[in-house]
A and B are shown apart, each in its own frame.
Chain A
């Protein structure tokens, strides 16, 4: 009897010291995430380190640009009001920074799918000469010279040395906490709210005309498609083709989620559409037919004025205020080493 009690007491003691692990919480109607958490176990210290790094312009060569410079928390981590994002020395890139949420369900990143795992995504903007203009080794040298960061790395990984592996894992951990699952649509799905008549009409139209690429509940298959955008000759961006060099991938871009659209204008990989209305107009009148055009778009998507209003009303139900205003995602000002308040 006392032996069993000892075992129970030891077990309780051990659980008391077990670090609180915030698992990502998602609704039952979501599919299982792709990200392998076993390879990168979440803990609060890793997430906090990742968040601090995300908002710290130390990641850029001249300490002016942070991840948040293009991925703003109040805009669902997109770069609002810019068609093309800009980096150090005010250089303008050739793509619009996409919104960041529900990343655990994605396994190809960037508009052209060049990055195949969330862990490696940060290397691209860190090293791009027009974005952060930096390189991994110089960045690690800076981080290892900071007592504050060494302390944070130690708390997160039991190793005070900042390595490429640990830097990237911490950034992944923070980004994985960016969950958008509490929009009105989600409340309706959870039977805690109901659509208005107009929103319901819009939902039906969406299911008929948009859902094959923008499938619920993520509102994207996160696959790639050519949605008929005429090539912008000043950019000559051929999307996935740039990476694979296979002609079947020409003009294919990643299908973005329809969640949080009010916060993430302008739209498309080069931000060419300022308003959602323009997007609907493109699908009804502006599709450019080419060899790789998605088969769903071989015929334009015609919507009456009423239909458009209904669809837009439904799309508004995908905005997630909880996500956008969540303080846990915002700049941890008190921790900042080189915060220039951007």
Chain B
């Protein structure tokens, strides 16, 4: 009898915990379509393809009334479109929340405290070799509008020192639910760039600052 009650209690507990698991998914999109690498997409004013999309999400937190109620354990995550498993994660949360917030990029404290491993290991291709700093957001592809070699654009957005600090914060109000889908509208991002002029951004500077602001606005709640 003890065992029966024990088992029932166990499953009840499991169900209670399961109700508080939130699935977070980042979805790179062009229009409504999920971005597939190397595929050509025709938009209203362009033909584009995406060759690389890698970026850091740092300090992903859940808020209620603008106060943090829960934080994702993994402080820095490298999301890479080539590895779809990195675009999603699960978080267990007990309290209610009405918004999420996260940074795009690696924070200054981490950047100045020596080499790190895991998602921050320089061997992952997101650390500049000729000067110190992580690439917060890397987007490469082709565009008909682009006047670079082979119509290619390479946007490596980084920099943590003023006045070219390009770490950005995204705040999204959310109704408490179990699945949060954050769209990254790549088409909207590219539309706002003059790719005939700006297509090779490889260091901190004014261009990176401008693009970082445009990139952060591409992150929005899907459906």
B39 at the interface (CB under 8 A from A): no
B193 CB to nearest chain A CB (Å)? 21
Flag if A137 contacts B132 (CB, 8 Å): no
| Complex contacts, B205 vs chain A, CB 8 Å | 245
Residues of A within 8 A of B115 (CB): 117, 119-120, 164-165, 168-169, 172
Q: Mark A166-179, 1 if CB is under 8 A from B, else 0.
A: 10110010000000
Chain B residues contacting A40 (CB-CB under 8 Å) are 114
Q: Is the CB of B117 within 8 A of A117?
A: no
Interface residues of A in 131-180 (CB under 8 A from B): 136-137, 140, 163-166, 168-169, 172
Q: A116 near B: Cβ within 8 Å?
A: yes
> Does chain A have a CB within 8 A of B31?
no
B201: min CB distance to chain A, Å? 14
* CB pair B113 A127 closer than 8 Å: no
User: Do B117 and A114 touch (CB < 8 A)?
Assistant: no
A115 is an interface residue with CB less than 8 A from chain B: yes
Contact digits for B32-64, partner A, Cβ 8 Å, 1 yes 0 no: 000000000000000000000000000000000
* A124 on interface, CB distance cutoff 8 Å: yes
Q: For the complex, what is the distance from the CA of A128 to the CA of B122, rounded to whole Å?
A: 16
The residue in chain A whose Cβ has the minimal distance to the Cβ of B118 is A165
Contact status A165-B122, CB under 8 Å: yes
For A172, the chain B residues whose CB sits under 8 A away are: 114-115
Chain B residues with CB under 8 A of A119: 114-115
Please tell me if B121 contacts chain A, counting CB pairs below 8 Å. Answer: yes
* A193 contacts chain B at the CB level, 8 A cutoff: no
* A204 interface residue (CB < 8 Å to B): no
CB distance from B138 to the nearest CB of A (A): 15
With A and B bound together, what is the CA distance between A119 and B113 in angstroms?
Answer: 9
Stretch at the interface among B2-10, B97-105, B123-131, B175-183: B123-131
Number of interface residues of A (CB under 8 A): 28
B116 sits at the interface (CB 8 A): yes
How many A-B pairs with Cβ below 8 Å? 70
Instruction: Evaluate contact between B132 and A117: CB separation under 8 angstroms.
Output: yes
Main SS of the interface on chain A? helix
Query: Once the chains are docked, how many angstroms separate the CA of A243 from the CA of B130?
Result: 10
Tell me whether A126 is interfacial, beta carbon within 8 Å. yes
A118–B205 CA distance with the chains assembled, in angstroms: 24
Cβ contact within 8 Å between A114 and B123? no
CB of B112 closer than 8 Å to a CB of A: yes
Query: C-beta contact mask, B87-113 vs A, less than 8 Å → 1, else 0?
Result: 000000000000000000000000111
Given A165-B116, A165-B117, A245-B205: A126 in contact with B123 (beta carbons within 8 A): no
CA distance A111 to B161 in the complex (A): 18
A57 smallest CB distance to B (angstroms)? 19
A116-B112, A123-B122 known; A166+B117 contact, CB < 8 A: yes
Q: Are A124 and B129 in contact (CB under 8 A)?
A: yes
Please, how many angstroms separate the alpha-carbon atoms of A140 and B131 in the complex?
20
Asked whether A4 is an interface residue with its Cβ less than 8 Å from the other chain, the reply is no
Question: Do B130 and A136 touch across chains, with their CB atoms under 8 A apart?
Answer: no
Q: Is the pair B130, A116 in contact by a Cβ cutoff of 8 Å? A: no
Chain A residues with Cβ under 8 A from B127's Cβ? 120, 123, 164
Interface flag for A36 (CB, 8 Å): yes
Q: Say yes or no: B122 contacts A168, CB within 8 Å.
A: yes
A117 CB, min distance to chain B CBs, angstroms: 5
- Which residue in B114, B117, B129, B132 is a CB contact (below 8 Å) of A36? B114
**Docked complex: B106-160 residues within 8 A CB-CB of A:** 111-117, 120-125, 127, 129-132
A163 with B132: CB separation less than 8 A: no
Is A11 engaged at the interface, CB distance under 8 Å to the other chain?
no
How many whole Å from A68's CB to the nearest CB in chain B? Answer: 20
A288 to B120, CA, bound (A): 44
Q: Is A39 engaged at the interface, CB distance under 8 Å to the other chain?
A: yes
Given contacts A120-B132, A127-B130, A128-B130, contact A140 B112 (CB under 8 A): no
Residues of A within 8 A of B132 (CB): 114-117, 120
Question: Once the chains are docked, how many angstroms separate the CA of A278 from the CA of B193?
Answer: 52
The answer to whether B129 and A164 touch across the interface, beta carbons within 8 angstroms, is no
A140 surroundings in chain B (CB, below 8 A): 123
Using a CB-CB cutoff of 8 Å, which residues 234-287 of chain A contact chain B? 243-245
Instruction: Please determine whether A164 and B114 come into contact, CB atoms closer than 8 angstroms.
Output: no
Interface residues of A (CB under 8 A from B): 36, 39-40, 114-120, 123-124, 126-128, 136-137, 140, 163-166, 168-169, 172, 243-245
Extra A-B contacts (4), CB below 8 Å, given A118-B114, A164-B115: A116-B111, A124-B129, A124-B130, A168-B122
Return 28 A-B CB contacts under 8 Å, by A number. Answer: A39-B113, A114-B132, A115-B132, A116-B111, A117-B112, A117-B115, A117-B132, A118-B114, A120-B127, A120-B132, A123-B129, A124-B130, A127-B130, A128-B130, A136-B123, A136-B129, A137-B125, A163-B117, A163-B121, A164-B115, A164-B117, A164-B123, A165-B116, A165-B121, A165-B122, A166-B117, A168-B122, A245-B205
Chain A to chain B: the 5 pairs with minimum beta-carbon distance, closest first = A164-B123, A165-B117, A127-B129, A119-B115, A114-B131
